[in-house]
Amino acid sequence: MSFVSRWFGSSEGYARVRWLFLRALALVYLSAFASLFVQVEGLIGSQGILPAAELIEWARAHAGPERYRLLPTLFWLGHSDALLRSACGAGALLSALALFRLWPSVVFFLLWALYLSLVNVSQVFLGYQWDSLLLETGFLAVLLAPPGLRPDARAEPPLAIIWLLRLLLFRLMFSSGMVKLLSGDPAWWSLTALDFHYWTQPLPTWIGYHVHRLGSGFHRVSTIVMFVLELLVPFLIFGPRRLRLLACGLLVGFQVVIAATGNYAFFNLLTIVLCLCLLDDGALPGGKVLPQSEDAAPPIRVSWRQWILAPMVLILLLLATLELSRLVARRPLPPPLASIRRLAAPFSLVNPYGLFAVMTTSRPEIVVEGSDDGESWRAYEFPWKPGDVSRRPRFVAPHQPRLDWQMWFAALGTCEDNPWFYRFLARLLEGSPPVMRLLERNPFPTRPPAFLRTTVYEYRFADAATRRREHVYWERKLVGPYCPVLSTDIPSADH
């Protein structure tokens, strides 16, 4: 019985875990807002690709009074470029403030509200799963954070919120594994998906280039390990203490490997932050970084906040259960439950997850070129996506170059499937300064070109012999045009 007791262990409280989690989440928010600050004008500013003002005015004209629920955003109060930049700057400042444990419940609510506001007016550019994950995690952080200007570091957090965070981590990992199997994709079922993954993912790293060359046998074993980590290890989250700590170590290691081989913005960092909720205070080292709690915490009293917390926990638990049931049952929800889910959807309180359900087995890339005469063409270079075949893949995370990412998705479809792309080309023909700042190199620095053409190339990693001989990391071959050639005679992007 002594051995069993030592193995299963017991929780030693979560006061210090709470502060570690909140400070780590503040760093994720800081990276997200800082990344957006340098891009927001080019993406959704007045001269950007998809101006937020157009979306808000369209909703104002067509959605009626319900527009505030369908599009919850602070930018109903104003949507100038200065306000967009200010929102990103305020988010970065609040993130820094959260590191100092000042008024955490208010600060984390403002962080969540600001990021939700930006997501809801950014359309495709902030429509990634890590944006949804940050909002869901951020809302739980509002409930986890204690009230008060400088709250007592010794007070224990609500255990129900700790378990909701664990449930979120479970849903994230388990859904990522299930969608791969449920899609029926032969690449996953035959364990060959990683033969393609490292060079077809949106923004590879140079480590991913070398891992790709380890061979099919290594990739098949890696795929099996990945399925174990995504489908089996998450169940340890609900096990006794030793198993939870084991799950924490395995999942953190998994995220480190993913981050080393691909650029996924702040997704891996945020997932590691979620893994912290599997720890307890006994698993943390001492030191000045984390609040100490040697003295007994003050007695817990039932407050107005707990009366609000209880029904909120039940609502979030219901929504999380609905998402899991939709994933496993693969059938529509009953109308009453579907209505509840639909009402909560605009606020991103609970979201579906699952990356790479179907593995891409080729890598089309769009090359954008301009010309003054329609005969001599010069290419626009993007800062991070593959273009110049001799440029080594680099690390950019936790910053996410949103345009580079969206170009990867555009290449998988057609020009007609991506109306935002026409808007992008129109801004190039106008020479929009905020959009030009999203690029690595503008081949027309003095005036915009008269013509634009877009061409699709098939890219893949160069093999070792080609790499040594030609000093390139990529090989490419011409596929064909993507959009028709455009000229300055096309309508303005504002139309």
Q: What is the pLDDT of residues 242-297, one digit of tens each?
A: 999 999 999 999 999 999 999 999 999 999 999 999 999 988 886 445 555 544 44
The one-letter amino acid code at 256 reads: V
What pLDDT, on the 0 to 100 scale, is given for residue 365?
Answer: 97
Cβ(203)–Cβ(396) below 8 Å: yes
Q: Delimit the domains of the chain by residue range.
A: 9-291+311-347, 364-487
pLDDT at 6: 47
Interval 355-366 mean pLDDT: 93
Calculate mean pLDDT across residues 134-153. Answer: 90
Long-range contacts of residues 299-305, Cβ cutoff 8 Å, at least 24 apart: 300/155, 300/156, 305/147
Q: Which pLDDT score, from 0 to 100, does residue 492 have?
A: 47
What is residue 365's three-state secondary structure? strand
Q: Which residues contact 47 (CB under 8 A, 6 or more apart)?
A: 41, 81, 427, 430, 432, 433, 434, 435
The amino acid sitting at 131 is: D
Three-point CA angle 248, 99, 105, nearest 5°: 90
What is the rounded distance in angstroms from the CA atom of residue 128 to the CA atom of residue 401? 12
Percentage above 90 pLDDT, the chain: 76
Please say if the pLDDT value at position 325 is more than 60. yes
- Pick the residue with more confidence: 297 or 137? 137
Q: What is the pLDDT of residue 490?
A: 53
**pLDDT at residue 173, as a whole number:** 97
In this structure, what token pair is assigned to residue 460? 């893949």
Model confidence at 131: pLDDT above 50: yes
- Mean local confidence (pLDDT), 391-395: 95
239 phi, psi to nearest 5 deg: -90, -175
Average pLDDT over residues 418-430: 95
pLDDT band at 311 (very low <50, low <70, confident <90, very high): confident
Amino acid symbol at 199: W
Q: How confident is the model at residue 308 (pLDDT cuts 50, 70, 90)?
A: confident
Distances (CA, A) of 209 to 213, 461, 479: 7, 7, 23
- Rounded to 5 degrees, φ, ψ at 146 are -75, 155
Strands 378-379 and 364-371: antiparallel
Tally of residues, the chain: 495
Residue 342 has pLDDT above 60, yes or no: yes
Residues in a beta bridge with 487: 451
329-338 residue pLDDT tens: 778 888 888 8
Residue 429 and residue 451: Cα distance in Å, rounded?
Answer: 8
Whether residue 161 is predicted with pLDDT greater than 50 in this model: the reply is: yes
Tell me phi and psi for residue 485, to 5 degrees.
-60, 135
User: CA dihedral defined by 456, 457, 461, 465, rounded to 10 degrees?
Assistant: -170
How far apart are alpha carbons 241 and 279 in whole angstroms? 8
Of the candidates 447, 448, 453, 451, the one whose C-alpha atom is nearest the C-alpha of residue 484 is 453
What was the pLDDT predicted at 326?
A: 86
Note the pLDDT tens digit of each residue in 439-467. 998 999 999 999 999 999 999 999 999 99
What gap in Å lies between CA 204 and CA 474, rounded to an integer? 11
146-150 contacts at long range (C-beta below 8 A, 24 or more positions apart): 146/18, 146/104, 146/105, 147/105, 147/305, 148/103, 148/105, 149/102, 149/103, 150/101, 150/102, 150/103
* Number of Cβ atoms within 10 Å of the Cβ of 80: 13
The pLDDT value given to residue 493: 46
pLDDT of the residue at 10: 52
- Whether residue 471 has pLDDT greater than 50: yes
Q: What is the DSSP letter of 77?
A: G
Mean pLDDT of 295-305: 52
Angstrom distance (rounded) from CA 329 to CA 332? 9
Categorize the per-residue pLDDT at 303 as very low, low, confident or very high, splitting at 50, 70 and 90: low
Query: What is residue 372's predicted lDDT score, i.e. its pLDDT?
Result: 93
SS (H, E, C) 6-70: HHHCCCCCCHHHHHHHHHHHHHHHHHHHHHHHCCHHHHHCCCCCCCHHHHHHHHHHHCHHHHHHH
* Percent of the chain residues topping a pLDDT of 70: 92
The residue assigned the tokens 């959605």 is: 63
Structure tokens at 61: 């004209």
Q: Can you give the pTM of this predicted structure?
A: 0.92
Per-residue tokens: 240: 């006794």
Alpha-carbon distance of 204 to 35, in angstroms, equals 19
- Which bin fits 295, alpha (ψ -120 to 50), beta or left (φ > 0)? beta
Q: What is the DSSP letter of 318?
A: H
Provide the token pair at 47: 């001269």
- Report which of 142, 122, 117 is spatially closest to residue 26, judged by C-alpha positions: 142
CB 309 within 8 A of CB 160: yes
Name residues whose C-beta falls within 8 Å of residue 282's C-beta, 6 or more positions apart in sequence: 11, 12, 13
**pLDDT tier, 4 (very low <50, low <70, confident <90, very high otherwise):** very low
**Which pLDDT band, with edges at 50, 70 and 90, does 64 fall under?**
confident
pLDDT at residue 172 above 50? yes
Q: State how far the Cα of 208 lies from the Cα of 231, in Å rounded to an integer.
A: 24
Contacts of 306 by beta carbon, 8 Å cutoff, 6+ apart: 158
The pLDDT assigned to 364 comes to 96
- Structure-token pair, residue 150: 């400088």
